[in-house]
Amino acid sequence: MARRSILFAPGDQRELLYKATNTSADIVVFDLEDAVGPAETPAARTTVKSVFDDPSFDPDPEICVRVSRDPAADCEILSTAELSPELIMLPKAASATAVESLAETLTTNGLDCPIIALCETARGVLNASEIADAPPTTAIAFGGEDLAADLGATRTAAGTELQYARQRVVLAASAANVTAIDTVYTDFEDTAGLRAATSTARTLGYDGKMAIHPAQVEPINEAFTPEQSEIEWATTVVEAAKTHDGVFRVNDEMIDGPLIEQAKTILNRAEISDETS
């Protein structure tokens, strides 16, 4: 299943939860953490449960819940809903132990949900490899804004202050063979900037990107969907590899093992995107 676009919706706003699931986002996150103030969290849990209890609620995207500062209370109320989330997001994941602890809480409440671990603190980024390797982890996401705050870093348009951390997270995801999700682009009116940031994320090896507004979903999906010229190149390379050993030539380009793997990745992304559209 494609995980190109991950759209957040505040858990205390029922209308926006429904609106988010009617976009073309691959994953919609019902947010009980940053989008909801601590005083509003109990009401937000009830709102999220009411959506899951709605007999007409039949979303196309994968539905994820980002747990609050009290995940046990979140899981307890989610366990009583008619429909369960397909994914759970752990904010500020600091270690594999934290992931496994949340998984135990889910199991205790009868919930069988893989976890998206959000690496958005210095400790979480440094422990990205062990977090990605934890058995309950299906994806790790890079949270650049919270990380900058944790570091006391100054955010810049170029993003050089976060480049090491951004690459460390995608490297950990690749090593563990889990989905890598890039940080949000906060200016939702700057479509050109979003496209550039998403293109960079794909270049680094990310599989998807988080979004804070429905208008960001389509540009993100487009960036992570291979263009026809890429598909044609990849198809030619993969077909030629079936009859060649070692290095060979395709249209005046020398093809070796890494390029064959790159071609396979492009075709896999294209296939997943077709299944989602």
Paired residues of 180 in beta bridges: 140
- Of residues 10 and 245, which shows the higher confidence score? 10
Residues 112, 2: Cα–Cα separation, whole Å: 20
The structure tokens listed for 8 are: 């957040």
Pairing of strands 248-250, 253-255: antiparallel
- Report the percent of the chain where pLDDT is more than 90: 78
Is 276 a residue whose pLDDT tops 80?
no
The two counts, helices (H) then strands (E), for the chain are 12, 10
The structure tokens listed for 203 are: 């270049």
Pairing of strands 248-250, 208-211: unpaired
The structure tokens listed for 180 are: 């890598």
Task: Provide the pLDDT for residue 11.
Answer: 96
Task: Provide the pLDDT for residue 83.
Answer: 95
What is the pLDDT of the chain when averaged over all its residues? 93
Paired residues of 209 in beta bridges: 5, 182
Task: Provide the pLDDT for residue 267.
Answer: 83
Is 248 a residue whose pLDDT tops 90?
no
Question: Residue 2, Cα to own-chain centre: how many angstroms?
Answer: 10
E-assigned strand segments in 11-121: 27-31, 62-66, 87-90, 115-119
* Residue type at position 103: A
Provide the residue count of the chain: 277
Contact 152, 175 (CB under 8 A): no
Question: In the predicted model, what is the mean pLDDT of residues 106-115?
Answer: 96
Q: Which domains does the chain have, with CATH numbers?
A: 5-223 (3.20.20.60), 228-276 (no CATH)
Indicate the helix (H) or strand (E) that contains 140: strand 137-142
In degrees, rounded to 5, the angle at the alpha carbon of residue 32 between the alpha carbons of residues 31 and 38 is 140
Contact 122, 86 (CB under 8 A): no
Is 275 a residue whose pLDDT tops 80?
no
Question: Residue 210, Cα to own-chain centre: how many angstroms?
Answer: 6
User: pLDDT, tens digit, for every residue of 42-56?
Assistant: 999 999 999 999 999
Is 90 a residue whose pLDDT tops 80?
yes
The DSSP-derived string for 152-214 is TPPP-SS-GGGHHHHHHHHHHHHHHT-EEEEPP-S-TT-HHHHHHHHHHHHHHT-SEEEESSG
User: pLDDT, tens digit, for every residue of 257-267?
Assistant: 888 887 887 88
* Residue type at position 117: A
Is 229 a residue whose pLDDT tops 80?
no
Task: Provide the pLDDT for residue 100.
Answer: 98
Question: In the predicted model, what is the mean pLDDT of residues 221-236?
Answer: 84
User: pLDDT, tens digit, for every residue of 141-177?
Assistant: 999 999 999 999 999 988 999 999 999 999 999 999 9
Q: Based on C-alpha coordinates, what's the Rg of the chain?
A: 19
Phi, psi (degrees; rounded to nearest 5) at 258: -60, -35
Sign for the CA dihedral angle at 137, 140, 145, 146 comes to: positive
Pairing of strands 27-31, 115-119: unpaired
Task: Provide the pLDDT for residue 277.
Answer: 59
Question: In the predicted model, what is the mean pLDDT of residues 102-130?
Answer: 97
